[in-house]
Structure 1
């Protein structure tokens, strides 16, 4: 069972001051790394802490940081901002076999506010996953392969959308960040690999070889 994170101690004023300082710096902020307490707290629900211009500027900056990293998602706590906001986009080219095995298709850019998700059906998929806040590491995470996401868009409109395949993985990963959950909390720890070992040994479309050699998910069907 996952540990339930404590709510952020940041006040509304402190959240806004933090955002204003980051926006005023004129440079890309660093991505907060594991060990920083903001990654282990429940981010504050967004309820107008920022004005519309600040929110738009923050979303634009988060997208720029995500691209620069590079990554396919970024949550506000990864910039030290304990606010329930994340950006997602996956436009990376992958080979046809990997795309098919991982059910990975392009995800157009969008931002989510106060997101929650729930599984649709009982299907699951297990693949290696990384995080911009745990640089240099990857591990296998088994997740629902289809989820329903409820969120508010930057215009304040409540939305609901289903995601499947790799898109569902991105949605879950970023939404988890806002609850103080890192992918490593859900991971098969025997699969943990640094990037060098992953690239040399386990960078296959599926996890079959890693599962056999590293001894995790022994009863899991081959993927």
Structure 2
């Protein structure tokens, strides 16, 4: 079972609750043996990884107060909605509007049985994520990360089965680094560094991908992706039926290619 010991209480504004149980909802372990993970021999993230869209927005990509406005209740944005691919702006205003958005994101996350959620998944295109590995309101640790960046990640990769609130009913194996070191701001704008491993590291990487406009099926091997193509096509058809417009992307048009693992590293899907 994944460990939460890496989420230290020294970041008092990051930690809201504590608990002991860990939920596997939406991020399920594969049949691979669980391992104790350390951050030994971490790999420094390459410059191109830090320069991807959304990871370090240009000055013109700073969020205005209006960019954080929303009409409650928030709803989960489903694939292939273009909001999941839009550029997400950097947050520079840490006010009650941000706190309200964070509160509402946790609320919808718990109501939909999630353990992690990014702002673009609720139609707000800013650099913000929330998660709680326990997945229960009032239990575990509620984590808020604003403008997160990856500074290092482990060489060791693990294959786990993942799900996503924006892809209801779809679960498949994704290979990711076991641990990461990140920099982020808390809800009050204080910047800090944090080491994550096991389940918290995996949740972070999944949500961080959302902030870059990357969806979890793009991290899958072609063999794994072939098993869920029909489900992705069903979501595309449903989107067209609801909106009355063609799907902005189609999995059938996706060319066979290398699959990205980690942050900038590529491995062959063949």
**TM-score normalised per structure 2:** 0.57
Could you report, residue by residue, the CA deviation over 1:125-164 in whole angstroms, capped at 9, with x for unpaired residues? 1111111011111111100001001101111111111111
Q: Please tell me whether residue 88 in structure 1 is matched to residue 131 in structure 2.
A: yes
User: How far apart are 1:191 and its partner, in Å?
Assistant: 2.5
Are 2:91 and 1:53 aligned?
no
Counterpart of 2:148 in structure 1 is 115
How far, CA to CA, are the matches of 1:133 and 1:116 in structure 2? Answer: 23
- Provide the aligned length of Structure 1 versus Structure 2: 174
* Between structures 1 and 2, the one with greater strand share: 1
- The answer to whether residue 99 in structure 2 is matched with residue 64 in structure 1 is no
Cα root mean square deviation, aligned: 2.8
> Any gaps of 5 or more consecutive residues in structure 1?
94-105, 195-223
Taking CA–CA contacts closer than 8 Å with sequence separation of 6 or more, which of the two structures ends up with the larger relative contact order?
2
Contact 1:62/1:76 (CA < 8 Å) preserved in 2?
A: yes
Measure how far apart 1:10 and its partner are. 8.4
Distance in 1 of aligned mates of 2:133 and 2:62: 33
Is contact 2:74-2:105 (8 Å) kept? no
Distance 2:219 2:61 in 1: 26
From the two aligned structures, give the one with the greater helix fraction: 1
For structure 2, the 5+ residue unaligned runs are 1-48, 229-270
- Quick check: 2:182–2:194 contact (8 Å CA) kept in 1? yes
TM-score (norm 1): 0.69
Contact 1:5 1:41 in 2 (8 A): no
- Give the alignment partner of residue 157 of structure 1, picking from 157, 177, 190: 190
**Aligned partner (choices 201, 213, 225) of residue 180 of structure 1:** 213
3-state SS, counterpart of residue 126 of structure 2: coil
- SS of structure 1 residue aligned to 2:184: strand
